[in-house]
Structure 1
Amino acid sequence: METNFEPRARLRNIPRAVAALGALLALAAQGAAEARPAGLPEGVHQVRKSAYDGTSDDLLTAGLGHSGLASPLAPPVSDPPTAAELRRLAIYTNYRALVDMTPAGGYGSFYGPAVDLQERPTGGEGRIAGVEYLAYAKGTSWQNATLMVQIPAHFDPQRPCIVTATSSGSRGVYGAISTGEWGLKRGCAVAYTDKGTGGAPHDLSKDTVPLIDGLRVGAGDADKESVAFEARLNAQQLAKFNAATPQHFAFKHAHSQRNPEKDWGRFTLKAVEFAFWALDDHFGRPAGVAQPSFRPANTLVIASSLSNGGGAALAAAELDTGGLIDGVAVSEPSVQPPASPAVTVLRGGRPVARSGLPLYDYMSWANLMQPCAVLAPELSQAPGLSFVIAAFAVNRCAALKAAGLVSGDTPAAQAASALERLLEHGWEPEAGPLHASHAAFEVASAVTVTYANAYSRASVTERLCGFGFAATGTGGAIVPLAPASLASMFATGNGVPPSAGVQLVNENAPGGPRRSLLSASASTGQADFNTDGALCLRALLTADTPRAQALRTGIDETRRSGRLHGKPALIVHGRADALLPVNHTSRPYAALNRAVEGDASRLSYIEVTNAQHFDGFIGLPALLPGLDTRFVPLHVYLNRALDAMYAHLSEGRPLPPSQVLRTLPRSGTPGAALPLTSANLPPFAAQPTAADRIRIEPGRIDVPN
């Protein structure tokens, strides 16, 4: 059954909630259960509350502080780990995954726990005391989405505020902790949700499943109300699958069979509702007062986050007709325009090649083209190229030529053709240096496989297009996953393998299942990064099969309307984004919003030059030298967008107009760039020049070169 996410449900349904809650509310501050007040939002259950003193443990860094987060040594866990250890490791892993952690790249000077809201180093560790609520948004036993609310000790009940931090990518509930940092520093409650994704899998061979805190139990022994994710298999189906396909895993985003993306906005709204309840629960109501102390009329609410979490914030604002959300400030959002958006995107006055395509379209195209395009002569200095197996890339180019997808008689010519196909499909030229690292780290493969399963609601047993998830050895054959890796995957996994020791497997590889990256295609016998699988995934866009039709239906369920109900919104996006190209996401969304809202539109779009999707990649100078001298951290501009939105809502200051913000890359040697300074990161312009102003009209956006 679907959860009721009507914004005012928590007020309308108090009598029903009182009757239904009872023993369902298990609040565990120190592991003890106690009865809770009425008024919990409908569908929220399994509530826990923990207090953190800001010294031994805290909300933002799990006690690690600025220095501990910066350490290359992850915090240790026991065997088996405790819930507290998993939480600490999850915060450490997820924080580091999303930002550049090097001091030269901005950590400790422009952002981080030891930097205040004015981008000034404090000299401290930045731990933040407070309370943390954890709960589920109930669906079914395999549909639970995790909700979390952090309330800092310095929250001011006289100036209450809430900021959302929906997880990025396919991560778990701590997957946007670096966004939550801004809210915690500001003294706001932060409302998180994993939005129906997460890193902890169902181990099908041992039949163990994760709980809300990452601890693992046998599926047969678990209270189904407490399980974070369990694949929908009966005992006979599970036994049959394990006999034919041992040592495999099912993941929440790919295999929940509920297309969680369609509800990312609803889960984000539910997290806001839960935050209002948590504030009332924590601070209490005056005696005899029936109305909640904290409510939309007296609490400032900003929907925020980045990537998928940013898309979830926009989706929540579209769904919010009850006034829960006051404004939106997001970075690099994943947002799906309507099938026929009637939107024109121009750059420098000229229409771009393609725009407004759904994520599955451009990701499945990147999955085909990037492994060949990396051999193009103009990408010969691309960071990460040394990690691409050149012989396999040559074979991929040949396979694409045989399929009629690229032209040219030599690998170099075919690669140049593949790069041109990417440009024709909507990538900006500035994204070129990133194609090699994305291909080497299987970014497009991971996304395409996960979303193919999610959109089509495929069961893990189908092994859609011959892909499975399993650990593999040095040669690529399937091996058992180390027990310690599985036990900590709630904290270390990103929810979209390859991740934490689990790889994408080509089940149809000649000679038996093998890691996809190292496998040959059955149709040719050539090691070509599994072109057969990539072509199969691409074909789902147009094939006349039940699974392909289901996939297209799933895509349509995730399309957004662009109608923000007149809410002020600020979007920042890096022009060089190679994962979520601006031509398919923020640019057309801004034009769509103006088309549907006209003069009521209050959206500003800021496109940042020399910025891309993965700030964490910039922070790997030894691994990917050259990113540090090419790109600046977009995370700084998400924080500044939040500053601007907060000032707009609380003080009436105008939002910055839509503009191209021209940054300055760091100078120095690739891999040893000079430290970031304010000269690299200019502020938003209150009055951008004509050469920098982005012009948005109904259904039309023109972005200066």
Structure 2
Amino acid sequence: MKRIMLCTLIGATGIALSACKEPFNVRPAFLQGEIQMTQYDGVTDDLLTAGLGATGIASTTPPAFDDALNPTPAELRRLAIYNNYRALVDTVPGGGYGTFFGPGVGTSGEGLIAGREYRAYMTVPGSNVPVTVMAQVPDSFDPAQPCMITAPSSGSRGIYGAIGTAGEWGLKKGCTVVYTDKGTGTGSHNLETDAAQRLDGTLTTADEPVQFRADLNDTKRADFSAQWPNRFAWKHAHSKQNPEADWGRHVLQSIRFGFYVLNEQFGRKLANGKVLATITPENTRVIASSVSNGGGASVRAAELDDQNLIDGVAVSEPNVNPEVDRRFTIRQGDGPVITRHSRSLLDYTTALAVYQGCANLAPSVRDAAPLNAALNPPAIGANICQSLALKGLVTGATLDEQATDALRILNDEFAIQPEQNLLAPAHFGLSVAQSISMTYANAYARAGVEDRLCDLSLAATDSNGAVAPLPGAAEAALFSTSNGIPPSAGVNLVYDGAVGQPTLLAASVSPSDGLADHGLDALLCLRGLASGRNPASGEALTGRDRGWSERIARGIDAIRAGGDLHGKPAVIVTGRSDAILPINHTSRPYVGLNQEVEGAGSGLRYYEVLNAHHLDVLNGFPGFADRYVPLHHYYFQALDLVWAHLEDGQPLPPSQVVRTVPRGSMGTPLSAANLPDISADPDPADRIVFADNQLRIPQ
């Protein structure tokens, strides 16, 4: 049943309404500049697919620009939606696209959705760095039964980063979907040319509002470029704002933005030009949602929601860093009791950056991990192992023994589940841990591009790994092609301290050992900043490094989640094999913390999906397709469950392990037999319970 405005209740009793006036629609003070609005007809262009439809999104041929050096805003938008959709969802035939999810599923034709799109800049108190906000209002939106879904971007992606996840589900439901890049996004600043992106993604060197420019005046920028030519600053890494500390506020602001544009569109217009706000939090169903970083942002928004803007939460694989609470432990089946849970993102990710390159060669992983040989040259892996051994960081007389010890360190000392071992090599080869470590260390420290933490910078590189200018066509397309966290779209991680000259990190020779070891010295530096200690000696950092490490620690404290969802009905769905956000430090301990904080008043349910992981897009490749199922399917189920609970009073199913069945071959399409539903009454052996201060997960 819908919530009813208090004024309406009072009016129904016949009591005078003089003290209970409907509010006027007021533009939120956090908005900066003009709101851009575009209407899409759902035929030639649309909200969900930019006119490409389900077939165009699935096509391996991306939409092109008429002029590669000067793409139009519409062309940039179309390519951004294409790339962002395909980055999170497996669109390869047989993997569930077009059957269980996709623009055409549950709709007619190609799934094009007509409506209006509003975009603007906003800021949070204490910051002048623009954050992008967007609201998509489908023509199917019913102002008499309003609903709203939040869609903060996943990862460090831009404003369309959740278009294929929360965006698709919400638009098909007829809900307004509110997005924010949450202070991340492309936001590139070419320090050589001063070029940056406008709100619509086009490049400019003029003094006008842009998504991000580094905090350097012209003289300092010129001096920096003279010493470090062709470098880029990136908003997430170099805004000096630690945007993650405000992700929850960004989501709450996006909701308020959504109400503002809805009332401008549907509110009652008065003769004096004012608009009555007839669509309000009291009569609108609002679900905080999204995946990965976006999911974490929505969780934090629900914790911060002191105005009851949010009715329920449905998130997938959230990047949430719970406050460390040693009152409870975690145990999977008869496995070890995990007490050292709730490590921060930077803590476990820098460990992966340091050790995974060697662990890729462990006998249990080397030949079994998909794409391992293709993405990770064995010679570099052997050099990483040798360097770690020389520094006393792994033991063993042989390469196999050293690699096995590196894997043991990750699984045992860092509580990273063995289920992720076959996925982690591909992530290392794609520089996932390396890019997260560099970006978040800078963000948490509130460092500027000029600080070059651990001698790392961002630039394009040539075939030899040397710094080079980014081609003009590549830079013009960055808004559409970048994932917001280099290496991305031709901009790479560069180790300025490499032997010889600044070099692509993956091809770098470290000064400490003279080995081509993937720039291990730089990665060990990041590990030291995260831990506060020299990784080799174990001694506490001193001097400048200690100062940066202390700043990083304060930055991490600012992003910790408290576990209090205020009793809101909430669902977290996570894949057990997640190799980017290990579940013993994210979803699992958040559930445990929530139980400690809210106890019997908690409305949170947790569904852990077997044979599922973080990046469904990898399921489109051999070796992944036969082992893993799309977590995306269960994310949509989570949204369905929360919706049914809020609208129809259906109880949320108990927390449980979902036992999926891999299809075994890319040639075998996924069917319902592979993807059992989250059960309303799971077998006792599948239930996740919190008892005696322990979160107990069935094997």
Change (3 A) 1:68 1:451: same
TM-score normalised over the length of structure 2: 0.92
**Which residue of structure 1 aligns with residue 103 of structure 2?**
113
Matched, 1:250 2:233: yes
Of 192, 199, 207, which aligns to 1:205? 192
1:385-424 alignment runs, 5 A limit: 385-386=372-373, 387-424=375-412
Specify the code of the residue in structure 2 equivalent to 1:384: L
**Which residue of structure 2 aligns with residue 160 of structure 1?**
146
Specify the code of the residue in structure 2 equivalent to 1:497: P
**Which residue of structure 2 aligns with residue 626 of structure 1?**
623
Change (3 A) 1:283 1:492: same
Matched, 1:66 2:54: yes
User: Structure 1 residue 38: deviation in Å?
Assistant: 5.3
Matched, 1:233 2:212: no
Structure 2 distance, partners of 1:127, 1:242, is 45
**Which residue of structure 1 aligns with residue 12 of structure 2?**
none
Q: For structure 1, which segment, 40-49 or 528-537, has the greater mean C-alpha deviation from structure 2 after superposition?
A: 40-49
The answer to whether the 8 A contact 1:265-1:315 is kept is: yes
User: Structure 1 residue 527: deviation in Å?
Assistant: 0.2
**Which residue of structure 1 aligns with residue 517 of structure 2?**
528
User: Structure 1 residue 532: deviation in Å?
Assistant: 0.3
The CA deviation string for residues 95-128 of structure 1, in whole angstroms up to 9 with x for no partner, is: 0000101121011111000101xxxxx5610000
The answer to whether the 8 A contact 1:630-1:666 is kept is: yes
**Which residue of structure 2 aligns with residue 650 of structure 1?**
647
Specify the code of the residue in structure 2 equivalent to 1:556: D
The answer to whether the 8 A contact 1:321-1:565 is kept is: no
**Which residue of structure 2 aligns with residue 369 of structure 1?**
355
Structure 1 distance, partners of 2:317, 2:452, is 31
User: Structure 1 residue 697: deviation in Å?
Assistant: 4.2
**Which residue of structure 2 aligns with residue 33 of structure 1?**
none
The answer to whether the 8 A contact 2:325-2:593 is kept is: no
**Which residue of structure 2 aligns with residue 322 of structure 1?**
307
User: Structure 1 residue 253: deviation in Å?
Assistant: 0.3
Structure 2 distance, partners of 1:304, 1:238, is 39
Change (3 A) 1:306 1:627: same
Structure 1 distance, partners of 2:326, 2:287, is 27
**Which residue of structure 2 aligns with residue 488 of structure 1?**
477
Matched, 1:497 2:486: yes
Structure 2 distance, partners of 1:242, 1:688, is 60
User: Structure 1 residue 264: deviation in Å?
Assistant: 0.4
TM-score normalised over the length of structure 1: 0.91
Change (3 A) 1:188 1:699: farther
User: Structure 1 residue 407: deviation in Å?
Assistant: 1.0
Specify the code of the residue in structure 2 equivalent to 1:446: S
Q: CA RMSD in A?
A: 1.4
**Which residue of structure 2 aligns with residue 468 of structure 1?**
457
SS in 2 for 1:257: coil
User: Structure 1 residue 286: deviation in Å?
Assistant: 5.3
Change (3 A) 1:357 1:141: closer
User: Structure 1 residue 222: deviation in Å?
Assistant: 2.2
**Which residue of structure 2 aligns with residue 572 of structure 1?**
573
**Which residue of structure 1 aligns with residue 15 of structure 2?**
none
Structure 1 distance, partners of 2:306, 2:339, is 35
Change (3 A) 1:142 1:86: farther
The answer to whether the 8 A contact 1:339-1:556 is kept is: no
User: Structure 1 residue 481: deviation in Å?
Assistant: 0.6
User: Structure 1 residue 548: deviation in Å?
Assistant: 1.0
The CA deviation string for residues 529-562 of structure 1, in whole angstroms up to 9 with x for no partner, is: 1110011001012134211111111011000100
SS in 2 for 1:162: strand
Structure 1 distance, partners of 2:589, 2:52, is 41
User: Structure 1 residue 295: deviation in Å?
Assistant: 0.7
**Which residue of structure 1 aligns with residue 606 of structure 2?**
605
Structure 2 distance, partners of 1:334, 1:243, is 38
Specify the code of the residue in structure 1 equivalent to 2:190: D
Matched, 1:40 2:40: no
**Which residue of structure 2 aligns with residue 94 of structure 1?**
84
The answer to whether the 8 A contact 2:286-2:311 is kept is: yes
Specify the code of the residue in structure 2 equivalent to 1:420: R
Of 626, 632, 637, which aligns to 1:635? 632
Change (3 A) 1:653 1:334: same
Q: Percent identity?
A: 49
Structure 2 distance, partners of 1:517, 1:196, is 27
The CA deviation string for residues 641-674 of structure 1, in whole angstroms up to 9 with x for no partner, is: 0000001001100111100000000123xxx341
Specify the code of the residue in structure 2 equivalent to 1:239: A
User: Structure 1 residue 341: deviation in Å?
Assistant: 5.2
Structure 1 distance, partners of 2:235, 2:290, is 21
Matched, 1:265 2:248: yes
**Which residue of structure 1 aligns with residue 298 of structure 2?**
313
Structure 1 distance, partners of 2:128, 2:525, is 28
Structure 1 distance, partners of 2:467, 2:635, is 41
The answer to whether the 8 A contact 1:164-1:303 is kept is: yes
**Which residue of structure 2 aligns with residue 24 of structure 1?**
none
**Which residue of structure 2 aligns with residue 616 of structure 1?**
617
Structure 1 distance, partners of 2:685, 2:599, is 24
**Which residue of structure 1 aligns with residue 680 of structure 2?**
686
User: Structure 1 residue 609: deviation in Å?
Assistant: 0.1
Matched, 1:348 2:333: yes
The answer to whether the 8 A contact 1:256-1:454 is kept is: yes
Structure 2 distance, partners of 1:186, 1:459, is 42
Listed as ranges, the gaps of 5+ residues in structure 2 are: 1-23, 533-540
Of 158, 164, 174, which aligns to 1:178? 164
**Which residue of structure 1 aligns with residue 316 of structure 2?**
331
The answer to whether the 8 A contact 2:356-2:425 is kept is: yes
Structure 2 distance, partners of 1:642, 1:272, is 18
Specify the code of the residue in structure 2 equivalent to 1:406: V
User: Structure 1 residue 42: deviation in Å?
Assistant: 1.8
The answer to whether the 8 A contact 2:131-2:183 is kept is: yes
The answer to whether the 8 A contact 1:353-1:426 is kept is: no
Structure 2 distance, partners of 1:169, 1:699, is 32
Structure 2 distance, partners of 1:167, 1:290, is 31
Structure 2 distance, partners of 1:210, 1:291, is 35
User: Structure 1 residue 285: deviation in Å?
Assistant: 1.5
The CA deviation string for residues 147-188 of structure 1, in whole angstroms up to 9 with x for no partner, is: 000000011112110000100000001001012100000000
